[in-house]
Structure 1
Amino acid sequence: MTQPFTDDRHPAEPYPGARPGHCFVHLDGAGWPVTPDPGADSGWRVAPDGVDLDEWLARHGEPPLAGRMPVLAYGSNANPAKVTWLREELGLPGPAVVLRARCEGIAAVWAAGLRKTDGQRPATLAAAPGVEEEHAVWFATAEQLRVLDRCEGRGLRYQLVRLHTGRVTLFNGGVIDSVLAYTGAGSRRMPLLSGGRPVRCAEVDQRGARRLAGRAALTDGLDVSPVRGAPSPDDWPDRLFVYGTLQPGLSAWSLVEPFTSGEPERVMLPGVLHDTGLGYPALRPGGDGAGVPGHLLRLETPEAALPVLDEYEGPEYRRVRVTLPDGRVCWTYLWAAEVTGMPVLARGWVEKRP
């Protein structure tokens, strides 16, 4: 599919509604498929024109992926018609970015209580060793997350957490560790035990779920860290790929080193490195070579480190999330302008000292 789709192709009823079998962006009752592309700055492109997802968002006056937070959507929030409902009823602003993901070791299961609004049984999240399901990850702005908080009844029906159980992998291979998720906050949103075990939503539809009998589980089995207050897009990930003057031993290492923990790790990032001729290199995504050598740093407090590094890099660079060959996601800084005429640095950056 390359054309926009409308909500009627994916009805919201019965809960949790129908989902597209692909990633998408959604605005004003219409959605556009999104596909991974390592040659795009954002790592994704929007059909049918193949425009970079960040550029598509900018055309609508909205923040790029780097300004958004990944939130696991395992229930109705992956349904396009639900997105429209959020927009019309709760004032959801801007485009919704919903990227499909493979989830291992966790499952959407039916909750113990029914919804008061329509008597349907909602989903909740539970640990599920050995189970693999496909769900989605919303990349939400701070304003959109506040709407999701209201919709999910944060603190009453569900709690917002960072999830440490299982593995969530986007279709581009990026692993979303410690993904934000809404998990049960009370007995009515704990997993329903029917026959002594949770019932996966993939195994029983809504009609069957409403007829289930059982009791609420005492726990969902998940390892989580509750989120206090409002999270920031800078909170995740806590890794940074550096390839120029910020590398260990080079001129700007002293700027970033106080924010790091552990030993820098030598890694290769897919992309092409160019010589700006200005004393620092320019990284662009894509390319068919071995990649760009550099160092992977772990940041103790990304939200403190990144504004300092943003100021150092200046407007010539833009900060994005990129995916290493092993699936780890990290921040890095891409050259924002053209690289036409710049020599390619086949063996990485070597700083020239006066």
Structure 2
Amino acid sequence: MAQPFTDESHPAEPYPGTRPDHCFVHVDETGWPVRPDLTMESGWRVEPENIDLDQWLANHGEPPLAGRMPVLGYGSNANPSKLTWLREELGLEGPAVVLRARCEGLAAVWAAGLRKRDGQRPATLAGAPGVTEEHSIWFATPDQLRVLDRCEGRGLRYRLVRVHTGRVVLYNGGVIDSVLAYTAGSNKRMPVLFNGRMVRCSDVSQRGSRVLGERPAMNDGLDVTEIHGEPSADDWPELLFVYGTLKPGASAWHLMEPHVVETEETHLPGTLFDTGLGYPALRPGPGLGVPGHVLRLSSPEDALPLLDEYEGEDYRRVRVVLPDGRIAWTYIWTAALEGMAELPDGWDVHQIRSTPQP
């Protein structure tokens, strides 16, 4: 079983430093490995304690994954020693959640200018058809994102954007569409051209990058939407998986309908239980699959607070991976299951034992 590690095993110099080949959470100069696990409410397990990632974060007094935003880390931001530097120099607080991802059609390439701080050449992001690289997704809290803004020189050196180019896939198979990332915001952070080509960081070392010159590319080959203001964790994803009273035609569909752009039948791994209160309880995990609908919301940040209130304290909103890899919100049951019967395949809301709540 994987064990915790310290910053010393992943030095920050030379830029971009080294990074673990697995997902991890990091705090106090120490990292704990993280693995996908369908039996956990968050979908992730922290080793070696074998504890749910959301519970591990709660034990540290910090928000769960649902309160965090996925930001692509393709340079030094996945380096544990860099995370400690951010704490010491820029006031980063709380655990950093860094999940590995396969990036298709995207590449970390060397930028045209050098860093004033140490003269090293930084990385920038570029579109790269046919290329696959391993990078990381930092699930950042709003406060952590503000620290990253300062570190990256948002609005000066880099822009905060949603990237529509390529495909980003987490180790649990979840596809992060329109991932947040910091991309070139000035000529010095545009990709450098050497012999007319962009140069991938994986092909040339920091030392070797010194001979590349400072000729910036005209564009980085990315399709992006720049973020203005502060993004919210509720902004992503736009999808919601519903399996009970919120399904089309069910008793609470009227709450959903004004916010829904399209609907589609699907299923989700897990088990449904009869609460005896007129609505079902979902627990994540392996299984044949819970039938339901995936809804595309016109404005998640408007709809989700209303649904949080409707679902109440016995449910918790989490992000889950659908069978086709899309990530969606859903509500899982967190109260006790004592006395509840498992609902059979093909159940109908009318089979639930008692009448719906008033």
Q: Name the TM-score class by shorter chain.
A: over 0.9
Superposition pairs of residues 231-270 of structure 1, within 5 angstroms: 231-262=231-262, 264-270=263-269
Q: Determine which of 308, 311, 314 is the counterpart of 2:309.
A: 311
* Partner SS state of residue 245, structure 1: coil
Superposition pairs of residues 204-353 of structure 1, within 5 angstroms: 204-213=204-213, 215-262=215-262, 264-287=263-286, 289-352=287-350
Partner of 1:158: 158
Residue 129 of structure 1, CA deviation? 0.1
Residue 214 of structure 1, CA deviation? 5.1
Cα distance in 2 for residues equivalent to 1:181 and 1:348 = 42
Cα distance in 2 for residues equivalent to 1:296 and 1:56 = 29
Amino acid of the residue matched to residue 268 of structure 2?
Answer: L
Identity %: 71
Unaligned runs of 5+ in 1: none
Dislocated runs of 4+, deviation >3 Å? none
Amino acid of the residue matched to residue 330 of structure 2?
Answer: T
Superposition pairs of residues 48-67 of structure 1, within 5 angstroms: 48-67=48-67
Residue 339 of structure 1, CA deviation? 1.6
Amino acid of the residue matched to residue 335 of structure 2?
Answer: A
The superposition leaves residues 109-168 of structure 1 with CA deviations (integer Å, 9 ceiling, x where unpaired) of 000000011000000000000000000000000000000000000000000000000000
Greater mean alpha carbon deviation, residues 226-235 or residues 208-217:
208-217
Cα distance in 1 for residues equivalent to 2:336 and 2:325 = 28
* TM-score, length basis structure 1: 0.98
Partner of 2:122: 122
The superposition leaves residues 18-62 of structure 1 with CA deviations (integer Å, 9 ceiling, x where unpaired) of 000100000010000000001110000000011000000000000
8 Å contact from structure 1 (residues 273, 348) kept in 2 = no
Q: Note closer, same or farther for the CA distance 1:5–1:300 as it changes in structure 2 (3 Å cut).
A: same
Cα distance in 2 for residues equivalent to 1:338 and 1:99 = 30
Partner of 1:46: 46
Partner of 1:182: 182
Cα distance in 1 for residues equivalent to 2:149 and 2:284 = 35
Residue 325 of structure 1, CA deviation? 1.4
* TM-score, length basis structure 2: 0.97
Partner of 2:29: 29
Amino acid of the residue matched to residue 213 of structure 1?
Answer: G
Unaligned runs of 5+ in 2: none
Root-mean-square deviation (CA), in Å? 1.0
Cα distance in 1 for residues equivalent to 2:43 and 2:253 = 27
